[in-house]
Chain A
Amino acid sequence: MRAFISSLALILSALPGLAFEIEEHVQFPAANQTDELRVISTADADLFTPFITAFQALNPGVAVDYYVVSSSEIMVALQDEGERFDLAISSAMDLQIKLANDGLALPYRSGATGSLPEWARWRDRVFAFTQEPATMVLSRADFADIDLPRTRQELITALRDHPDRFRGRIGTYDVRESGLGYLFATQDGRTSETYWRLAQVMGGLQTQLYRGSSDMIEDVASGRIAVAYNVLGSYAQVREDLHDRIHIIAPEDFTTVMMRTVLIPANAETPEAAGRFIDHLIETAWTEGGGRFAFPGITPARLSENASLRPIQLGPGLLVYLDRLKRRQFIEEWEAAMVQPG
Chain B
Amino acid sequence: MWPFRAPGSIRLRLTLQLLTGAAVMALVLFLIVYSFARQIGAESQDRILSASATSILDATTVQSGNISVDIPYSAFTMLDNSVDDRVFYRITQDGDGLTGYDDLPSARQDQGTGPAFDTVTYRGEELRIATLTRRVSVGGTPTRIDVTVGQTRDAQADVLARILRMTVLLGFGFFAASALLAILAGRSTAASLSRLAESVSRRGPQDLRPVVAEVPSEMRPLVTSLNSLIARLSAALTRTEDFIAEAAHRVRTPLATVRAHGENTLRRVSKEENRVSLREMIRAIDESSRAAGQLLDHAMVSLRADQLELSPVALRPLVADLVDRLRPVAELKDMDLRFEVSEEQEVMGDTILIQNAVRNLLDNAIKYAPPETPIDVSLTREGAGATLTIRDQGIGFPATGADALTGRFARGENATGVIGSGLGLTIADEVARAHGGTLTIANIEGGPGACVRLSLPLR
Structural contact, B123 and A103, CB atoms closer than 8 A:
yes
Complex interface: chain B residues within 8 A of A150 (CB): none
Q: Is A323 an interface residue (CB 8 A)?
A: yes
Shortest Cβ distance from residue A341 to the other chain B in the assembled complex, whole angstroms: 23
Which of chain A's residues has its CB closest to B72's CB? A320
Complex interface: chain A residues within 8 A of B79 (CB): 316
Known contacts: A118-B82, A123-B86, A324-B99. The answer to whether A102 contacts B123 by CB under 8 A is: yes
Q: Is A329 an interface residue (CB 8 A)?
A: yes
Structural contact, A316 and B73, CB atoms closer than 8 A:
no
Q: How far is the CA of A175 from the CA of B181 in the complex (A)?
A: 72
> A320's contact among B73, B82, B88, by CB below 8 Å, is which?
B73
Complex interface: chain B residues within 8 A of A326 (CB): 69-71, 99
Q: Is B331 an interface residue (CB 8 A)?
A: no
Q: How far is the CA of A325 from the CA of B372 in the complex (A)?
A: 146
Structural contact, B87 and A316, CB atoms closer than 8 A:
yes
Complex interface: chain A residues within 8 A of B68 (CB): 325, 329
Shortest Cβ distance from residue A328 to the other chain B in the assembled complex, whole angstroms: 9
Q: Is B84 an interface residue (CB 8 A)?
A: yes
> A103's contact among B70, B84, B91, B124, by CB below 8 Å, is which?
B124
Q: Is A122 an interface residue (CB 8 A)?
A: yes
Structural contact, A317 and B99, CB atoms closer than 8 A:
no
Complex interface: chain A residues within 8 A of B71 (CB): 320, 323, 325-326
Q: Is B323 an interface residue (CB 8 A)?
A: no
Q: Is A190 an interface residue (CB 8 A)?
A: yes
Which of chain B's residues has its CB closest to A118's CB? B82
Complex interface: chain B residues within 8 A of A325 (CB): 68-71, 91, 98-99
Q: Is B75 an interface residue (CB 8 A)?
A: yes
B431-443 interface code vs A (CB 8 A; 1 in, 0 out): 0000000000000
Q: How many chain B residues have a CB neighbour from A under 8 Å? A: 25
Complex interface: chain B residues within 8 A of A123 (CB): 83-84, 86
Structural contact, B99 and A315, CB atoms closer than 8 A:
no
Structural contact, B77 and A317, CB atoms closer than 8 A:
yes
Complex interface: chain B residues within 8 A of A319 (CB): 76, 87
Main SS at interface, chain B: mixed
Which range contains the number of A residues in contact with the other chain?
20 to 34
Which of chain A's residues has its CB closest to B122's CB? A103
A91-103 interface code vs B (CB 8 A; 1 in, 0 out): 0000000001111
Complex interface: chain B residues within 8 A of A320 (CB): 71-73, 75-76
Complex interface: chain A residues within 8 A of B123 (CB): 102-103
Structural contact, B73 and A190, CB atoms closer than 8 A:
yes
Known contacts: A101-B87, A325-B99. The answer to whether A317 contacts B82 by CB under 8 A is: no
Structural contact, B77 and A315, CB atoms closer than 8 A:
yes
Complex interface: chain B residues within 8 A of A323 (CB): 69, 71, 99-100
> A315's contact among B70, B80, B98, B124, by CB below 8 Å, is which?
B80
Q: How far is the CA of A168 from the CA of B74 in the complex (A)?
A: 37
Tell me which residues from 190 to 224 in chain B have a Cβ below 8 Å from any Cβ of chain A.
none
Q: How far is the CA of A319 from the CA of B76 in the complex (A)?
A: 8
Complex interface: chain B residues within 8 A of A317 (CB): 73-74, 76-77, 80
19 contacts between A and B (CB under 8 A): A100-B86, A101-B86, A101-B87, A102-B86, A102-B123, A122-B84, A123-B86, A124-B84, A315-B84, A316-B79, A317-B74, A319-B76, A320-B72, A323-B71, A325-B68, A325-B70, A325-B91, A325-B98, A326-B69
* Residues of B near any A CB (own CB < 8 A): 68-77, 79-80, 82-84, 86-88, 91, 98-100, 123-125
